Structure formats: C-alpha cells, structure tokens
Chain A
Amino acid sequence: MYENPRMQPGAPRPLTQSQPNPFEGAFYGAGSGLIRGDLGTYGEKFLGSSSEYVQSNISRYFSDPQYYFQVNDQYVRNKLKVVLFPFLHRCHWTRITEPVGGRLSYRPPIYDINAPDLYIPFMAFGTYVILAGLLLGLQGRFSPDAVQWLFVKGLLGWSLQVMLLKVTLLSLGGVEPPLLDIVAYAGYTFAGLCLAIMGKIILSYMYFVMMPLACLCMGIFLVKTMKRVLSAEVRSYDSSRLHYLLLFIAFAQFPLFSWLGNISLNWLF
C-alpha cells in the first residue's frame, strides 16, 4: 500500500510508462507545472544520462508532491481543528483507501480528513517565522539577519522532528510511509507552536501555559497518527516496544517545542 500512494483523480494514467522524458515518468507531474515544465527540461539536461537510476530512486523516495496540495478551505479548517485539539476528534483516525488501477491507494486530502497535506505545514512554518520576527521586534531585537536565522532554526527543528519520526518507524520495522508523509506529519508541529508564540506576544506569562498544552496536543496527535500508520501494516511486533516508542515520541515534543519556542538569537537558548 505504501509503495504507491499516488492518487490520480480524473483520467487514470498508466503506472508504468516508457517515456522519452525521464522526469515525466519519475514525477507523474499531473499538472504540477513547476516539475513538469521547468524542472523537467533542466533535469533532462543534467541527468539525462543517468535517467534510469534517477527515475527509480526518486520515485521510491519522493512521492508525487501534488497529492499533498489537493486541499480546500474546509479541509484546512477541519484539519487545523484536528491538529490543535486532537482530543476532540471523535471519529476514526484511519485514512480512507480506494482501489485505483488495481492497487489500493489513499484518497487525497480533500476527501479524507486524516490524510496528510503539505499546505498547512508550509503555511504554519511561514507563520512561525513571521510571528517570531514580530516577537523579536516587539522586544527591540529585530534585524533581517535574525529573521533569516529563525528560518534556518525552524528548518532545523522540522528536520529534527522528521528524523525522530523516521527513526521510530524504522526501528519498528515494516514498510515506512513515503518521506513526504513524514515531512507533513512533522510540519504540523508548527501550527501548535504558532499558537504558543501568539500567546507569548499577547501576554508573556501565557506562554508557559500554552506551550505545555501545545506539546501535549502535538504528542497526542502524533501518537494517534503513528499508531494508525503502524497498524496499517499488520505485522507481529512487540506491543510493549511499540508503546514505549510512542511514549518517547510524545515526550520528545517537550524539548523540541521549548527549543523552537525560545525566540532568541543564540543557537541553543
């Protein structure tokens, strides 16, 4: 199931294509003009010789990014509610699958509230950088270099979260979800983080209330999601090991959030 989570709404495309353009086959650029148009021509120029290698490896590690941007207003609103207040989400957490072209693949985010998307993580990351810059400005420590440093710090935090999730999933064995799925799940931390920083801007003591709340909510969300991700693959694993690792994910949110939420110009604290 995780080998091919691509969803092709509308006209079904053949999954194996022998195309003269290697990038067209690798990315299944169903309309993402960026990839097919611009990158395709450049990619062919640079990587035309090793197209087979590139095609196989990229399609293995990098699922179609356009799937994660099939969102609309209503999905965004509801998903934000799920991410920020996961304990209020009473429905199931499993992703809906449907057979496409003989394989089971997941429905895109418009149709499925539990599907990950990349729009919210990107926007939440941008909001985090701007809110942190605003906070610095209110404290009189604003400078363009500070904003650039915050951007890098945010990216570091995102990749740390991705590594945490990936290591956890790896150590439990089985087939991992595609990298972009994990990137999306990790990016949801910025939504809760933005709320905490907004609390910090309004009243500096509110931060010490909002931050643990955000950590807790993110922990619950990640635990529930990872549990679903892992139990999608029915394998015989150590149940206690699974619970310890999920608990580890939840507790690791606290240092991560406090590092990212501490808006300053130093790299650590």
Chain B
Amino acid sequence: MTREFAVPPVVFPSGGNPATGNLQQRRVPTAPFQPPRPSSSSIPFMSFDIGPATSTSTLYGGPIGTGGGPSGSANFDDEEPLLDELGIHPEQIWKKTKSILNPFRVNPAVHKDSDLSGPIILYLSLCLFQLLAGKIQFGVILGWIVVSSMFLYVVFNMLAGRNGKLNLHACTSVVGYCMLPVVILSAAMLFLPQASVVRFVIAGVFVLWATRASTALMVALAEGEEEHRGLVAYACFLIYTLFSLLVIF
C-alpha cells in the first residue's frame, strides 16, 4: 500500500528552466509547506499552524494546545525539587554537622531522624583528604564504616537488652556524623611532619572528641542507657581509633 506524499516543488534559482508544463502538473502547496490533513482526524494533533486554510486543525490543536501545553509545563512545575525527592536536606545536614562541632554539648534533638546523606558527604571528604595525602582508600573506608556500624549496632542492642531499639540506619547515621572530627584530623595531618609525636597527640584529642560526641548521641537516641555509657564509649573509642590509624599511618 503506497502512500502518496505531497512533494514540495523544486525551484531552481537560475538557469535551467524546466518545462513549464511540468510546473503546472505539480501541486503547489501553500507556504509554509504543510502535509494534507484529513478534516476529520481522530488523532488529536498539536500543531502550530500559520495558514488560514488550516482552521480545522486549530480546532484540534487549540484545545489540545491549551490543555496539553500548560498542563505539560504544569507537570514540570509541580514536580518536587530534586534534592527533596532524593531526601537530601542540606540545611538539616548542616545543622547536624554543626551540632557535632561542640563535643561537650551535643544536641540530640536534631539527630532524631537519621539520614545517610550527611555521612556520605563526610565519607567523601575524608577520602578526598586521604587522597591528598597520597592514599587511595575509598573502598577501605567505606567497608570499615559498614563493618564498624554493624559492630556498634550489635553491641549496643545486646547491651541495651529489652530497650534495644536502635536500628541500623540510625546507628550508621550516628557513626557517620561523628566522623567529622576524623575528617578534620585528616585535613590537619596534611600539614604535620611525618614521624612525630605531635601526630599522635593531636589524633588522640580528635579521637576523644569523636568518642564523646558519638557516645552522647547513642545514649540520647536510645533512652535509658545511661548505665552502659562507659561500655558504649569504649566501643565507639575502638571504632574511631581504627579510623585514626588509617589517617596517621
């Protein structure tokens, strides 16, 4: 089944003057070129018609144009912003990170709903500083964060006993956010001499800072764990010492 396409006329600008008979045999469409359209088309057809002969198409195109056009742009406008859809709230991340900066007065209220995007940002910055120090440890740090948060999750829930309601997401969130001191440590290590006692002393200070912050958060997130504070603190201390080993050596 062959379809007949309307072929636009070929007009040569100069010279060759084709036989005038041919010209009259061809169909001369109006300008701009438009394919012939059946007047009763069941398929709505959105088109931007300029010619007056296409009044039927505007009947179709008009409502569809008004319906489809603004609704198309409204669909795009109605969409959530990308960060909200992904669940990343920058101002919340910033607030949580700022709360870790003061180890003596940790505010557990901001950490009530856990999220993993802040820890991912901190993980990437730690890897970046390690990269600046010449160590490519992306996989190692990620694996160690996963293993250590699982370790802390098991130990904390077992110690808590009946009250053990900390879930793995919140645990990983706490471990990740309290990596902030380790990130700052890795930045500071870039400027310290390689084999000196100062490295160990400063690392010790930062590890204690991270331990204190994470213990305060863990104890505050699971109510009624005050009696096991020292035990949880030692577990957190082990975790952050492990990461500081990566940074120092």
Does A225 lie at the interface of the complex (its beta carbon under 8 Å from any beta carbon of B)?
no
Tell which of B154, B157, B230 has the most Cβ of chain A within 10 Å.
Answer: B157
Question: Within 8 Å CB of A70, what residues of B?
Answer: 161
Does B105 lie at the interface of the complex (its beta carbon under 8 Å from any beta carbon of A)?
no
**Contacts A69-B161, A76-B231 hold; do A147 and B154 have CB atoms under 8 A apart?**
no
- Minimum distance in angstroms from A163 CB to a CB of chain B: 24
Binds A, one of B5-13, B77-85, B164-172: B164-172
Instruction: Report whether A32 and B231 are in contact in the complex, using a CB–CB cutoff of 8 Å.
Output: no
Instruction: Report whether A34 and B157 are in contact in the complex, using a CB–CB cutoff of 8 Å.
Output: yes
**Chain B contacts with A in 224-249, Cβ cutoff 8 A:** 227-228, 230-231, 234-235, 238, 241-242, 245-246, 248-249
**A10 CA / B151 CA spacing, docked (Å):** 27
Instruction: Report whether B245 and A33 are in contact in the complex, using a CB–CB cutoff of 8 Å.
Output: no
Instruction: Report whether A144 and B140 are in contact in the complex, using a CB–CB cutoff of 8 Å.
Output: yes
**Contacts A69-B159, A123-B234, A123-B238 hold; do A34 and B153 have CB atoms under 8 A apart?**
yes
**A137 CA / B199 CA spacing, docked (Å):** 13
- Minimum distance in angstroms from B48 CB to a CB of chain A: 56
Instruction: Report whether B160 and A31 are in contact in the complex, using a CB–CB cutoff of 8 Å.
Output: yes
- Minimum distance in angstroms from B149 CB to a CB of chain A: 13
Instruction: Report whether B234 and A130 are in contact in the complex, using a CB–CB cutoff of 8 Å.
Output: no
Does A122 lie at the interface of the complex (its beta carbon under 8 Å from any beta carbon of B)?
yes
**Given A32, A123, A133, A147, which contacts B158 in the complex, CB threshold below 8 Å?**
A32
Question: Within 8 Å CB of B3, what residues of A?
Answer: none
Instruction: Report whether B238 and A30 are in contact in the complex, using a CB–CB cutoff of 8 Å.
Output: no
Interface size range on B against A: 20 to 34
Does B192 lie at the interface of the complex (its beta carbon under 8 Å from any beta carbon of A)?
no
- Minimum distance in angstroms from B155 CB to a CB of chain A: 7
**A135 CA / B164 CA spacing, docked (Å):** 36
Instruction: Report whether B162 and A31 are in contact in the complex, using a CB–CB cutoff of 8 Å.
Output: yes
**Contacts A72-B227, A73-B230, A119-B155 hold; do A32 and B161 have CB atoms under 8 A apart?**
yes
Q: Chain B interface secondary structure, helix, strand, loop or mixed?
A: helix
**A69 CA / B137 CA spacing, docked (Å):** 34
* Nearest-CB residue, chain A, relative to B164: A33
Instruction: Report whether A69 and B158 are in contact in the complex, using a CB–CB cutoff of 8 Å.
Output: yes
**Given B140, B151, B242, which contacts A130 in the complex, CB threshold below 8 Å?**
B242
Question: Within 8 Å CB of A34, what residues of B?
Answer: 153-154, 157-158, 164
Question: Within 8 Å CB of B161, what residues of A?
Answer: 30-32, 66, 69-70
**Chain B contacts with A in 54-95, Cβ cutoff 8 A:** none
**Chain B contacts with A in 156-186, Cβ cutoff 8 A:** 157-168
Q: Which residues of A contact B (CB under 8 A)?
A: 10, 30-34, 37-38, 65-66, 68-73, 76, 118-119, 122-123, 126-127, 129-130, 133-134, 137, 142, 144, 147
A-B complex: 8 closest residue pairs judged by Cβ atoms: A31-B162, A69-B158, A137-B249, A142-B249, A33-B164, A144-B140, A126-B238, A31-B161
What would be 18 A-B contacts, judged by CB atoms less than 8 Å apart?
Answer: A10-B162, A31-B160, A31-B163, A31-B164, A32-B164, A38-B167, A66-B158, A72-B227, A73-B227, A73-B230, A119-B155, A123-B234, A123-B238, A130-B241, A134-B245, A137-B245, A137-B248, A144-B246
